[in-house]
Amino acid sequence: MTQTSSSTQMYSEIILDYYRHPRNFGTISKPDASSHEVNPLCGDEVTVQLKIKGGKVEKIKFNGKGCAISQASTSMLCEHIEGKKLEEVVKMSKEEALELLGINLSPMRLKCALLGFKAAKLAAFKYLGVNEK
Amino acid sequence: MAKNVNNNYNYKSDFPILNQKIRGKPLVYLDSASTSQKPANVIASEKEFYEHYNANIHRGVHYLSEKATQMYEDAREKTAKFVEAKSEEIVFVRGATEGINLIAATFGEQNVKSGDTILITEMEHHSNLVPWQQLAARKKAKLEFVEINTDGTLNLNDAAAKLEKQPAIFSFTHVSNVLGTINPVEKLTKMAKKRGVSVVLDAAQSAPHLPLNFATIGADFAAFSGHKMLSPTGIGAVYGKREHLENMPPYQTGGHMIKTVTKQTATWNDVPWKFEAGTSNIAGAVGLGAAIEYLEKIGMKKVERYNAELVSYCLEELQKLPFVTIYGPLENRCGVVSFNVGDMHSHDVSSILDEEGIAIRSGHHCCQPLMETLGVTATCRASFHIYNTMEDVDKLVNGLKKCKKVFKL
């Protein structure tokens, strides 16, 4: 038998709460940076929008459709990123993002968990790319 | 509790892969509409081919080449008989996707003109949508969709109205891979033919479960995959009326498909070989032949009946769960049951079922436009074949009850 997380662990109270009541969910009318990511395997999608002030993430919102893992992880990530320096965001590692979730995932589900992370990081990169030229 | 309907014979034991535990639980495989499992005789046929008969076909004059050619062509004959067609009307391809691409790139390329319409339906798999969409873009033609009714059946009035406008091609699925709807193929083909419209049938989901008679259906073309009907992957067939195959340009060019080649010109081989460039999946074709033998030994009528019993038992049991939403018609359906569980995403359902050793499919099932019509982003789908039992359905139901508990629905 392979070691996997049990569903009660995977779908903890915290994750279900973030799924049903996502923090930082919504849109920013005039974002300074944004990125839309799709998982072509399952059709999950997420858009992350940033408002930047003084090199910091002043505001971050996300919207999208997907499984509990992708939605909860994006929500947790947004909470984590808000207020951080852009440089910290682009340096953030996958492991750091997964730590927020605090569960073990199979390779297929890792893609769900990292969808929002990918979007947020790309948005930050895009912003730095445009504004440092 | 499940009743035993299958004449006391459990086909599960014919499928070696099903005799294993997944995550400590006996495997319950409910993803056959994606790809079916393979019986021992099919696996043995490929092994036997490679151990005793492997050689390239058609050109060799040595013993093995002749033997391999004979086995390959025998498989074609079996496939033709399986769908009541003639051997020369069966072209081996990788699967239904390649089949529809072949038809679009040859017959479609030749017969669709600028300003024409290509008609498909809202319930098509991407494989019977994107090839036509791309052909329409190349030809500056229009792609139109026959609508579906709220119960998941095809809107026949809409089909009649859109056929009235004489599209160049009408391509539709026999059985929906999401809704399970069995479309009235003979009726639709007749409606199209009355208007002089060419008909392409996607038989990927019907060939595994229903007795097929392409001669009676009357479509100009059809395509199906072997791997959904117990055969190995990488083999399938296109059926085409002989006169079309004769008049169509080749799909790919190169070896095998030529008659003569000079430095500047080439002439084409006879049908169906004109469409089989390069070395085919010979062992795969032999495997397809073995799968057909297996299915015919049971009898397609019985395969159809058993599948219908499984599907209606599943529908019955799922209807008892108030937190489950079922998609598609409640009768006259085949192969699959699509559903959603409360506010759960299908991936979360699938993850929880996976812990119980239950394999279902989740997501958009290569039918994004249909998901849009249904107003969902994804569904769960349980699909069945001859090796499934009523007990598998009971296990699915228990798994769904666990989902309810974990997600506190």
What are the extents of the domains in chain A?
A: 25-131
- Looking at residue A132, its pLDDT comes to 62
Query: Is B371 an 8 Å CB contact of chain A?
Result: yes
Q: If you average pLDDT over every residue of chain A, what do you get?
A: 90
Token readout for B172 is: 């539709």
Give the chain A residue nearest B379 (alpha carbons): A42
With beta carbons under 8 A apart, name residues in chain B contacting A20: 343
Q: Which residue of B has its CA nearest to A8?
A: B406
Extended strands (E) in A17-88:
33-39, 44-53, 56-65
Domain A25-131 - what CATH class? alpha beta
Residues in B closer than 8 angstroms to A2, CB to CB, are: 23
* Structure confidence by residue, pLDDT tens digits, B301-319: 999 999 999 999 999 999 9
pLDDT at A133 over 70: no
Task: Tell me how far apart the alpha carbons of residues B345 and B352 are, in angstroms, rounded to a whole number.
Answer: 11
Q: Read off the pLDDT of each residue in A46-66 and give the average, rounded to a whole number.
A: 95
Q: Is B407 on the interface with A (CB under 8 A)?
A: yes
Dist. CA B314–CA B335, nearest whole Å: 11
List, in sequence order, every residue forming a beta bridge with B347; answer none if it has no partner.
none
pLDDT in tens, A98-114: 999 988 888 888 999 99
Considering B314, B334, B366, B367, which one is annotated as catalytic? B366
Nearest 5°: phi and psi at B289?
-60, -40
The DSSP bridge partners found for residue B391 are: none
pLDDT of residue A3: 41
Give the gap in angstroms from C-alpha A61 to the nearest C-alpha of chain B. 21
Most B CBs within 10 Å: which of A3, A7, A8, A21, as the mutation test of the B interface? A7
Separation in Å, CA A133 to CA A51, A122, A124, B363: 19, 17, 14, 41
Q: CB A43 to CB B347 under 8 A?
A: no
How far, in Å, are A94, B109, B118, B163 from residue B139 at the CA level? 46, 8, 11, 20
Instruction: Kindly identify which residue of chain B lies nearest to residue A2, measuring between CA atoms.
Output: B23
Please indicate whether, in this complex, the C-beta atoms of A7 and B362 are within 8 angstroms of each other: no
Q: How many CB pairs under 8 A join A and B?
A: 54
Distance in angstroms (rounded) separating the CA atoms of residues B89 and A86:
63
Is residue B215 within 8 Å of B84, Cβ to Cβ? yes
- Residue A12's Cβ-count burial label (10 Å; 0-12, 13-18, 19+) is middle
Q: Residues of chain B whose pLDDT is less than 70?
A: 1-8
pLDDT band at A4 (very low <50, low <70, confident <90, very high): very low
- Distance between CA atoms of residues B105 and A43, nearest Å: 28
Angle between helices B282-298 and B300-319 (to 10 degrees): 80
| Nearest chain B residue to A42, by CA | B363
pLDDT band at A1 (very low <50, low <70, confident <90, very high): very low
Helix, strand or coil for residue A29? coil
Q: Are B283 and B46 in contact (CB under 8 A)?
A: yes
Give CA–CA dist B135/B144, Å, rounded. Answer: 13
| Chain A contact for B67 (CB, 8 A cutoff) | no
Q: Which residues of B touch A106 (CB under 8 A)?
A: 351
Question: Where does B240-389 have alpha helices with state H?
Answer: 242-247, 282-298, 300-319, 346-355, 368-374
Tokens 């249904």 found at: B374
Q: What type of residue is B278?
A: G
Q: What is the pLDDT of residue A8?
A: 77
Q: Indicate the residue of A4, A16, A112 with minimum beta-carbon distance to B347.
A: A112
Active site residue B403: no
Beta-carbon separation of B363 and A42 below 8 A: yes
- Quickly state the pLDDT bin for A5 (edges 50, 70, 90): low
Give the domains, in start order, of chain B with CATH numbers.
Answer: 11-30+300-406 (3.90.1150.10), 43-297 (3.40.640.10)
